[in-house]
Amino acid sequence: MQARFSALPSPEALYSVSGQRGSLPALRARAPPSVLPLLSARVQFAGLVKLPSLVSLLLAALLTLSGAAAVVLTTSGAQLPAASPAPAPDLAPPKLAPQRARALLPPPSPTALAASPTVAPAAPSPVIAPTISAAAGAAPVARQRAGPVTTVPILMYHYIRELPANTPDRIGYGLSIPPVTFDQQLAYLARAGFHGVTMSQVTNHVLTGAPLPPRPIALTFDDGYSDFYTAALPLLQRYHFTATTFLVVNFLGRPQYMSWQQALQLPNDGIEVGAHTLDHVDLAIQPLATATREIRDSGLILRQRLGVPVQAFAYPSGRYDAAVLRIVAASGFTSAVTTNYGSSYTRAELLTLPRVRVYGGITMPSYIKEVGG
Ligand SMILES: [Zn+2]
């Protein structure tokens, strides 16, 4: 039995429903079986708004009993009803596939290794291994550090839109920052002397020590929603902040997503474009051929159609494994961002960069604390 949200348009939402959380045994023990598949999602959301766990348990139970939750329980492989007009990708709940034949993995080519300081040779890597185990939102694992540590917060945004606080789309709410709030955040950053930098600037700094402006901060926007262009971009320009957008190639032109015409304008507006696969699939469970196509072709298509370098990548829902890292390195990407939490990293972590999630409902004091202000 798996739990999926079918009425929520965000690909991130699909993932966050089934993200495995490590802190729930006590709740699980007390929950009725029908609630178990929902529990992790509700608790995760509750965590975002800092509700006590017991409250979230009650919320999950109430939503289940009332049938109000936009959740469809399916058995593996079943089709989900199209409850949302938005083009929700059929993201299977993350399920690690250890059976994916490691023996079939091509050894990393010398070129790929040269292109990526992160991908170590076949020998177990002290950096990659614990990071992979921490993928999908597991508890942070102490990472072995090598070389200078860079501290430049990389903020993770999704929607810049207003959703009523009482919306039933709780996950969507958690991914949405109202434009007025985004305005306040940028005003704070500008007032506090922060300067926006792109992922390329961050990468160059980590690799070569290239200087960055004072108080650098990287704003990133996942999925390529149309409100980036209509709501976020005007505010970024007003406060003279740049940003990086991670586009899902095959989503461009769909409802709620940017058009190709808008995407083509982004470089002219000083916005860096990064790749976020073709179809927003969970890369950790794809056959290697599919993962390769999703990663490599998203970069190739964006470079070709936009006519600019595309060197930054974002893992859909933060999902990756060692094979995925090799493919990203071999596909011309020099950095890749995750959903792991943090603001500091070394050269060895350029393909597993942590970020700071800016969640719906975040207060200004919390935001200021998160950006290190
Ligand atoms: Zn995404």
- Model pLDDT, residue 145: 63
Span from the CA of 100 to the centroid of ligand 1 (angstroms): 23
State yes or no: pLDDT of 260 exceeds 90.
Answer: yes
Exposure of 107 by Cβ count < 10 A (0-12 exposed, 13-18 middle, 19+ buried)? exposed
**Structural domains in the chain plus CATH codes:** 2-74 (no CATH), 110-370 (3.20.20.370)
State yes or no: pLDDT of 138 exceeds 60.
Answer: no
- What does the chain come to in residues? 373
Span from the CA of 317 to the centroid of ligand 1 (angstroms): 5
CB 10 within 8 A of CB 82: no
Confidence tier at 147 by pLDDT (50, 70, 90): confident
What does pLDDT average to over the chain?
74
User: Tell me: the pLDDT tens digits for 265-319?
Assistant: 999 999 999 999 999 999 999 999 999 999 999 999 999 999 999 999 999 999 9
CB 222 within 8 A of CB 156: yes
Span from the CA of 123 to the centroid of ligand 1 (angstroms): 30
Q: Could you tell me which of 296, 290, 308, 305 has the C-alpha nearest to residue 333? A: 296
Span from the CA of 310 to the centroid of ligand 1 (angstroms): 17
User: Tell me: the pLDDT tens digits for 1-10?
Assistant: 333 333 333 4
- Model pLDDT, residue 143: 53
State yes or no: pLDDT of 136 exceeds 50.
Answer: no
- Model pLDDT, residue 342: 97
State yes or no: pLDDT of 97 exceeds 60.
Answer: no
Ordered DSSP codes for 166-191: T-S-HHHHHTEE-HHHHHHHHHHHHH
36-48 and 53-66 helices cross at what angle (nearest 10)? 130
User: Tell me: the pLDDT tens digits for 37-70?
Assistant: 333 333 333 333 334 444 444 444 444 444 443 3
- Cα distance between residue 373 and residue 370, in whole Å: 7
Span from the CA of 222 to the centroid of ligand 1 (angstroms): 5
User: Tell me: the pLDDT tens digits for 193-242?
Assistant: 999 999 999 999 999 999 999 999 999 999 999 999 999 999 999 999 99
Span from the CA of 315 to the centroid of ligand 1 (angstroms): 7
Q: Cβ atoms within 10 A of the Cβ of 256, count?
A: 18
Span from the CA of 10 to the centroid of ligand 1 (angstroms): 8
Span from the CA of 157 to the centroid of ligand 1 (angstroms): 10
- Cα distance between residue 197 and residue 368, in whole Å: 18
Q: What does the pLDDT average to over 328-338?
A: 98
- Model pLDDT, residue 373: 84
The pLDDT > 90 percentage for the chain reads 60
Span from the CA of 312 to the centroid of ligand 1 (angstroms): 14
Span from the CA of 298 to the centroid of ligand 1 (angstroms): 13
Span from the CA of 145 to the centroid of ligand 1 (angstroms): 28
> Taking the model in full, what pTM does it have?
0.66
Long-range contacts of 297-302 (CB under 8 A, 24+ apart): 297/249, 298/247, 298/248, 298/249, 299/275, 299/331, 299/332, 299/333, 300/331, 301/249, 302/247, 302/249, 302/263, 302/273, 302/275
Confidence tier at 33 by pLDDT (50, 70, 90): very low
